[in-house]
Amino acid sequence: MKKMFDKILFDLDGTITDSKEGILKSIRYAYEKMGLEQPEDDYLIDFLGPPLWESFVHKVGLSKKDAEKGVAFFRERFQPLGIYENKLFPGMSELLHLLSQRNDLKIYIATAKPLPSAIRVLEYFKIIKYFDDISGATFDGTINGKSQVIANLISKFEPDFNRERTLMIGDRDHDIFGAKEHGLKSLGVLYGYGSMEEIKNADFLVESVPELQKFLLGGK
């Protein structure tokens, strides 16, 4: 990378880890507990990334009260089990290690996943040591959604946060929109859960982790 950026913000689910299995199984558990008809996997893919409460309200059409119940049921399975039905995308650990060795670069997590859950995942995969800070959602909803997560991270470093030299990397549209809202550059990864149509407005696009490594670090 030709010193284009001083800071890199990474999304977690669908960008660093392939967490689909645990999340979808836990959503199906919530559906069962609420007596809802089980949808196809293709329908549930849209739940990966955005805040779950929003998906229950805007996608499923639940009331706010029922959406809160759905989230509680989801966590009932996800926290002890689903969070570990997860894996790193091949090559990601090596990439993060290489980035962490750069003295002229800081890397962060900016995820809509609740912060305690994000920390557990990063610790589980032994990659938390690579990140300079972690910003996630809160269980009480005071920080919710990618834009607020990014804002929370920026607030820790203002006025020394150069937005023009900061890159947000993610796989869904809210990653791209969140970056643009805060004046950051964005890079969409096509190996995650979002489609080309969804993230086509990113400033940069890559199709694989090796391509991401080439973009960030150069080389073959």
**Which sequence positions are flagged as catalytic?**
11
DSSP 8-state symbol, 60: I
In the chain, the DSSP E strands lie at 7-10, 17-18, 87-88, 106-114, 133-137, 166-170, 185-189, 204-206
Token pair listed for 14: 């669908």
Burial 89-106 (b: 16+ CB within 10 A, else e): beebbebbeebeeeeebb
Which stretch of DSSP H or E encloses residue 33? helix 20-34
Q: Indicate the residue type of 196.
A: M
Assess contact for 120 and 86: CB atoms under 8 A.
Answer: no
Helix axes of 209-217 and 92-100: crossing angle, nearest 10 degrees: 10
Q: Indicate the residue type of 21.
A: E
